[in-house]
Chains A and B, each alone.
Chain A
């Protein structure tokens, strides 16, 4: 049986392989932690959890012009898959998808309890969730990348770096 912290470590290890760093913080200090790591201008989508808020420097409900100008984007991750170092980013009416996509740096906020060990668990979650909500999500692993120009380059169309802030 895997304990929670084994799963966390495995996730951290796998994510590190894609240069994705994890920062742990408490719910209370979340706005400050995010604020410290952000490059502005920043956009974001509201976090879905009670008591969790974004710093003021993050513009939610951005305009297209603000999206285009943003350097960072802060959104929630619904799940993480330890085996792969992947984040699950759900599309929301509040614009989580564009806020995580049109920026150079994506900051994802993740609850530690939402780290699942493997794809089997993730797909069980997707099945239950999508049958109920008919929603959409991205399994995002590391930054966007391409090798089409002759060598691996990060930040093809999407973010060049990804940072995860983990809260309890």
Chain B
């Protein structure tokens, strides 16, 4: 990416932050909190997710068979099934159906798949009037704008903005102000449109092969009207929407509203088995009872392939097809909360999973436009009702983009994953430098303090920004000449004489070369708790290259780590990790990078530092050996995003509380720095906007100590509050 295109991207993000950011933030954060509250009311949330996941895995596995079964069932029911290869094919078919029905007007209920094929434009070109009846979609149709969210498409528009739009378009007699007035006005206008409709078009959230039933998850009632009134019904759905039986709908019905907007269930879950056994309502014949005469309805199910069957063959993109489009991954994403789907989205889909959809449907070029906005924070993983590893899909696509496979949308099927080709100019220079941060850190440490003076000097700052896109407003962290490994090797023997346990403290790149104090504190605390600590030299975890989509480089790092730690694991030592994002590598990402025999022992024996302290205290070690609170010391603590996904925030809170501190935690999903993300000039404003949410909470807590577990969080909070927070272990350090 050139300096100019970085500047253009930054400008676009800034514009969206200014114009749409506030509405998007309020709504998505509301949905996200609603999700936490709603799933907490379920007796067995995890069990339901497992069930949903299993149904999708099975359905996609058996898709060709289910497709045949569904076709047969629907034909038996009196409907027609058309499998469209691509958008053009689908649109042609739908236009023909409309022509046969002599349709002047189609009324539509909300459907992302119909957005994907742009059927409205196609029908307009055939002189068919298409009216969106979902209020949000209708607002966008009037405004000629694209959805900014897959469930709540007009989430970026304020009430006032909608009022102005209606004013301009309709010049209503009475001014419209309240949400109630706006809704009733829209209801009336749309009611008239529906009365005169010839064809009703819907999507389908799910389709059951056994009965030909489609589930539509809605709240307004417009889908019901669109199906009930006209005599012709066209449903447009991706082929991946098929599930085997009616009973399989249950976990999805219980999960989809909760995961998306935080509603236990939406007002209407329509289970239509079309053509439906209900009289049509012919407003052109207002005085004949609707029940007079035979019910004569037509139904066409248009199933869209448009790349999906190829995605099914792609081992990494395949999981995308499990997605039920609930929007949890958008709402829980800190970047999305700030900027919305107009930046964090492609042609049709938005949010974390959009990378998978857009890569499979449109191609890598489209995915490349916004793929970087996923920082891999992993907060979406636990939110996803079908347990898709969304960050991994983003990483894989990033890797493919790096490889320059920007041509056809299925290049990757032929090419497979080749090495990261770091010698040629494939991943951008910016990505390669951040991806090889370990090299930089080594050099910086070896040449400190000169390297620090350099990095902070204006000309170097300018050069970094011009060449690498490192934002000049960010300060590089200071490198330390004496690394943690050196300090540990040279220090006087203070090890417990008869240790109960032996651990390897993993010297991650940040602790080893920069945040050395937290490493020293960790050694002292562990030893005080009766543990023998070793700090051998071990390579970086591979997190930075993985974040940049450099999978092969990350794999090489993983192999190095496994090799270095193997003898300790053989001896029965535990591995203690300070940096949460590195622990997430060891216990999660390495599964994809290493053979099982290397991954499993490492994953099973690695612990987050405070989680380990928690275990020691549980097993009888005394907190008095640590530095405990004086009377009423207060702490404001921001856990790390990946740490929370690993369910390890509570351990830190518990240990601090046990040591007498009064702890307040932040509830923001991510600090916004996310490794190198916040250093990149094109994303600086977004990163700061996300961070401001956190900073506000920390300021409000007004505590004696601000603590954070991750390096990125430390950097970010340091920039926002103008004073660096410490790692919890530094507060507990017996030498404090």
Contacts and interface: CB of A to CB of B under 8 A. Distances in A.
Interface stretch (A4-12, A23-31, A148-156): A148-156
A97 B223 CA distance: 12
Contacts of B277: 91-93, 134-136
Contacts of B289: 61-63
B228 A139 contact: no
A144 B220 contact: yes
A156 B183 contact: yes
B491 to A, nearest CB: 60
B279 A93 contact: yes
B481 to A, nearest CB: 57
Interface string B114-153: 0000000000000000000111100100000000000010
A48 interface: no
B228 A97 contact: yes
B731 interface: no
Interface string B470-493: 000000000000000000000000
B547 to A, nearest CB: 35
Contacts of A96: 278
B723 interface: no
Interface in B249-303: 249-250, 253-254, 261, 264-274, 276-279, 281-283, 285-292, 295
B77 interface: yes
Contacts of A150: 158-160, 162, 179, 182
A79 to B, nearest CB: 12
Given A131-B211, A151-B159, A156 B287 contact: no
B363 to A, nearest CB: 32
Contact of B221 (A64, A68, A101): A101
Nearest to A81: B265
A82 to B, nearest CB: 13
Interface residues of B, number: 70
Contacts of B211: 130-131, 134
A95 B269 contact: no
B220 A64 contact: no
A145 B183 CA distance: 10
Interface string A100-125: 01100000000000000001101110
Nearest to A153: B183
Given A144-B219, A148-B135, A97 B224 contact: yes
Contact of A98 (B133, B183, B222, B228): B228
B448 interface: no
Contacts of B77: 134
B278 A136 contact: yes
Nearest to B166: A149
Contacts of A98: 228, 278-279, 281, 290
Contact of A62 (B159, B212, B250, B290): B290
B683 to A, nearest CB: 30
B28 interface: no
A84 B265 contact: yes
B81 interface: no
Contact of B135 (A139, A151, A156): A156
A158 interface: yes
A156 B278 contact: no
Nearest to A97: B278
B210 interface: yes
Contacts of B498: none
Interface in B147-201: 152, 154, 158-160, 162, 178-180, 182-184, 186-187, 190-191, 195
A130 B213 CA distance: 8
B276 A146 contact: no
B430 interface: no
Nearest to A60: B291
B597 interface: no
B273 A135 contact: yes
A64 B286 contact: yes
A139 to B, nearest CB: 4
A21 to B, nearest CB: 17
Contacts of A63: 286-290
Contact of B291 (A95, A122, A151, A158): A95
A64 B222 contact: no
A1 interface: no
Contacts of B278: 91-93, 95-98, 136
A118 B269 CA distance: 15
Contacts of A86: 265
Most chain A Cβ neighbours within 10 Å, of B210, B264, B276, B282: B264
Contacts of A91: 228, 272, 276-278
B644 interface: no
B179 A149 contact: yes
Given A84-B265, A138-B271, A158-B221, A130 B246 contact: yes
A96 B283 CA distance: 17
A140 B135 contact: no
Most chain A Cβ neighbours within 10 Å, of B195, B224, B274, B289: B224
Contacts of A130: 208, 211, 213, 246, 271, 273
A67 interface: yes
Contact of A157 (B136, B190, B245, B265): B190
Nearest to B159: A150
A137 interface: yes
Interface in A58-91: 61-65, 67-68, 84, 86, 91
A141 B279 CA distance: 23
Contacts of B133: 157
A137 B182 CA distance: 30
Contacts of A123: 246-247, 249-250, 253
B270 A138 contact: yes
B225 interface: yes
A134 B285 CA distance: 29
B224 A153 contact: no
Contacts of A127: 210, 245-247
A129 B324 CA distance: 25
Given A134-B273, A157-B133, A144 B213 contact: no
Nearest to B294: A93
Interface in B221-236: 221-222, 224-225, 228
B268 A139 contact: yes
Given A63-B288, A93-B277, A93-B291, A139 B136 contact: no
25 contacts: A63-B286, A63-B287, A64-B195, A65-B287, A86-B265, A98-B278, A119-B250, A123-B249, A130-B246, A131-B211, A136-B271, A143-B267, A145-B267, A146-B220, A147-B152, A148-B183, A148-B220, A149-B159, A150-B162, A150-B179, A150-B182, A151-B159, A151-B178, A155-B184, A156-B220
The 5 A-B residue pairs with the shortest CB-CB distance, nearest first, are A150-B159, A158-B221, A156-B220, A157-B221, A151-B179
Given A126-B246, A130-B271, A153-B183, 4 more contacts: A63-B286, A139-B268, A143-B267, A149-B183
